[in-house]
Chains A and B, each alone.
Chain A
């Protein structure tokens, strides 16, 4: 194959009228051929990734007549190279001469669409879908549709799987005879022998239904949908659930009951938890698609069952949807349905045996308070919140705390504060630093909702304790947290409560804590303003320039650079400059570097 191409390259070369132009534009393909022969995959990959460069250099005509045939012939290679090729070809329309010639790209992509490796095949299909849009209706029928047919009737399952993704892109723009053929092919693939093909067809069923005329949706799609939804393999059945959403959206309300609901009911009670999981996971979409009446009659009991499912996986997926489901219930009966049907299930889930179920519920349960209003929240939801705040699993508590704002709007946070505090304190000391980090991030929000008094009394010590945490990420977050608090409570509050404590740490024996002082100053100087910065912070920073640890000294230089803009020019010249100059002659090279950087940034040279 290589030989064939290099031969034509040589032949071209010896053409009498070939001239300099011919030689030059032929040169890139020679490089490519040489590189594609290389034993090193990486080099082959590099050359394929630069395919557009080569095509550009060749010009459109030679790209069509030489490069593309060459690529089509040499398609056997490592999957990684093929993947790169499949991707490149999707963007090649202009390089072969625009939409008029786009069909030249079909042969190599067709071969790629039959490769075993899924990523290659998917990429080839993606590229084919992309370039299908650039075909004129005529070209679509002459070139593209035959390709789809060939793939759909291929021997090996790979080509048939690829075909499934191509029907919907060509269907809208072809004649009615061809449309009939396409429908027939799709039907065949839906009952293919190989489960892989049926899965591919099932996953494209919704997409295909969207481009079909309504009559055909009713006559063709529904029967395919019903068949796939009762396939012997659960991996096929669960994909039909996804299609159910699109199909239900397309059909008029009066047809849903007879055409879709029997299948959906069956899916919600499928013996495989995977199918039931899928129903739970798509519940909000399904609810919107079938409308309020069916929701009331059918989906409410189905949802109750999913919330009580024997498989934790399914319960967790359903618990995740509780808020959305309730929100989308028809307004006239919403409260009644929630109170009598949903809430009892929710109550049970609060003490579920599985922590994933509980934490899924905790992430949405607070949202119910806005729907149910103040009285119901106080009477029914509050006990649940309080129970979850005491849950043994930190994730559950955290999810409750992170959604406090919803409750705050309805009943105010005071109701919760008694239980909140122990929960926060415990999370603040959790063994997992990610949990601690998460709770720190909610501190500014909590502070805002609980008020300065409550904060000073209960939470301030926690915030200061995080500054000396043994994990850097926590100390960093704690610093940032202080800044946000100051923005909320003002400079005066800062001066009285946190600044003295922060500055006190400058004398800590642990150099990491001394550095934390500097980091806090970096974060706080702007929020605290010029006066506090100059009078209280600056002296401390300057004093630390004599620290025996080099890391502290170069952080002094960095801090000075950071707070410089907040200071007045007098302080800069008389106090900062001498210190930086001294640091610039430090024995440590990093200290020198940062001191010099600060001098130049602050223009003190």
Chain B
């Protein structure tokens, strides 16, 4: 305590790595709630292979029952002999179910599931490290792994045994069993999650009656992860299983599956630890789009809604996913989302973080995306031009500037007339934007005044109000003058004929109020 190292004297904070190193020592935990007060010492049973075939079944059951005894692995000195006997027995059982045929008689099923449940189903312990960072920290490993591993191994061999009959097993491997299995996916031990993944996959494949239930429970786990706890260790593993489940969905997709995509998978992109499972998540999303291309528009709009605002690392991942989607997109779907999408891409290209900008600019190396851009150059060039032009002059990173020049060159080749037009109007456009911005600020100021006036003199016409009125109209006029042509079109189609009649009214109103102000 009193011996303080020189480095600590200088810096009161211990380094994160040092604190980690201390933690690392006890990275083992076990969670088996030890209710058994006095342990009976195990005594070895004869080998199965030595027993006469008539007694084998009995001996098998006895061994299964023997393996239901649990041991405290946090205490590495007690029960050494019994631990060893159980380990050897489990090994023998693994061997027995994987090499022998005809050993899975009906009466063995409840014994097997009972042994497996007793050993693996437990409440996972509290994390040793409350701010566990799966990317940096070593996970806490399950202390009882020498036994638990063999139990998992045994269960897997049992499921994969050619004699395995789901019709008998479904009495024991039921919803309750699956629910407990799913809860174990939160284990911090990656070895355990890996076994669970394979086992759940087998169960999903063999038990048709449990499929909907499994999907629903995964759904619940994800929703809880997204909206309640923000913590679940097995998200990547569950997504991996889902990836192959989605692959097998029949067409047309059920509403349930679409809802899962939109209400679970897309919001999942907001999770703090996205980096840990993004690859699997993106795979699932792309699987959906390959199944049903009409989902492209809602998916991309969803991603744009949850686009990261402050985390550059996540932004790079989003861009990666967008590229994966664009790789499989249909040209008709592309047209539907090109505008909002390229508005976002133009922001990314201009991102001061060079990795974000670089990732976005790499889109122009993708032949298919390039062909989509070329087809729609009239729409895309005006959106992209401002950002590209600006950063070609302003970005701090020379690599980005070089990339931008290439992109500009490519775009120019696609439509040089439009490119020239945009170049010549660039300055005027920026100034108009600035002016608009100023006017907006003015407007809000006026509105504040209006609030004050309103509280002071109810329903009284003040000058502030009138001025604000003028400004507003100016603003509208400006909008009409310089807004993009398609904007106007949209409006007129929506409002219909009435626009034509009402627009002059506005002009009259403007002149009226202007005169009355003067």
Contacts and interface: CB of A to CB of B under 8 A. Distances in A.
A471 interface: yes
Contact of B443 (A14, A31, A39): A31
B274 interface: no
B486 interface: no
Contacts of A43: 440
A99 to B, nearest CB: 20
A429 B451 contact: no
A53 B176 CA distance: 55
A234 B31 CA distance: 15
A23 B447 contact: no
Interface in B1-36: 1-2, 4, 8-10, 12, 14, 31, 33-34
A57 B1 contact: no
A433 B12 contact: yes
A470 B9 contact: yes
A130 to B, nearest CB: 23
A57 B450 contact: yes
Contacts of A325: none
* Max chain B Cβ within 10 angstroms of own Cβ: one of A272, A273, A394, A431: A431
Given A10-B506, A156-B263, A394-B1, A3 B491 contact: yes
A234 B505 contact: no
Interface string A1-40: 0010001001101100000110111011011001100010
A118 B224 CA distance: 10
B513 interface: yes
B223 interface: yes
B267 interface: yes
A379 interface: no
Most chain A CB neighbours (cut-off 10 Å) among B4, B125, B267, B447: B447
Contact of A273 (B125, B305, B494): B125
A470 B10 contact: yes
A271 B267 contact: no
Interface stretch (B59-67, B105-113, B326-334, B465-473): B465-473
Interface in B239-275: 263, 267
A512 B224 CA distance: 53
A457 interface: no
Given A23-B509, A196-B220, A271 B123 contact: yes
Nearest to A21: B459
B1 A392 contact: yes
- Interface bin, chain A: 35 or more
B469 A157 contact: no
Contacts, number: 116
Interface string B457-494: 00101000100110010010000000000000001001
B126 interface: yes
Contact of A10 (B122, B448, B494, B502): B502
Interface in B29-46: 31, 33-34
A214 B269 CA distance: 47
A274 interface: yes
B505 A57 contact: no
A543 interface: no
Contacts of A313: 126
A195 interface: yes
A50 B494 contact: no
Nearest to A232: B179
B424 interface: no
B123 A50 contact: no
A7 B267 contact: no
Contacts of B454: 56-57
A346 to B, nearest CB: 22
Contact of A3 (B176, B267, B450, B494): B494
Contacts of A234: 123
B498 interface: yes
B12 A53 contact: no
Interface string A425-456: 01001111100000000000000000000000
Given A27-B472, A156-B263, A271-B123, A196 B451 contact: no
B231 interface: no
B2 A53 contact: no
B12 A426 contact: no
Contact of A57 (B9, B125, B224, B447): B447
Given A30-B472, A429-B2, A116 B267 contact: yes
Contact of B513 (A23, A78, A116, A274): A23
B455 interface: yes
B223 A196 contact: yes
B451 A56 contact: yes
A426 B472 contact: no
B135 interface: no
A590 B465 CA distance: 47
Given A30-B472, A78-B305, A116 B505 contact: no
Contacts of B212: none
A35 B223 CA distance: 33
A35 B440 CA distance: 9
B228 interface: yes
Contacts of A13: 502, 505-506, 509
A56 B454 CA distance: 7
A310 interface: yes
A430 B126 CA distance: 29
Contacts of B8: 431
A14 B9 contact: no
B228 A57 contact: no
Contacts of A35: 440
Contacts of A271: 33, 122-123
B447 A31 contact: yes
B227 interface: yes
B472 A31 contact: yes
A521 to B, nearest CB: 26
Nearest to A14: B505
Contacts of B502: 7, 10-11, 13-14
19 contacts: A7-B498, A10-B502, A13-B505, A14-B505, A20-B513, A21-B461, A39-B343, A43-B440, A57-B450, A195-B220, A196-B220, A196-B228, A199-B228, A271-B123, A273-B31, A273-B123, A273-B126, A392-B1, A470-B10
Given A27-B465, A196-B227, A273-B123, 7 more contacts: A13-B502, A21-B459, A31-B447, A57-B450, A116-B263, A392-B1, A394-B1
4 nearest A-B pairs in the assembled complex, by CB-CB distance: A272-B123, A433-B12, A3-B494, A14-B505
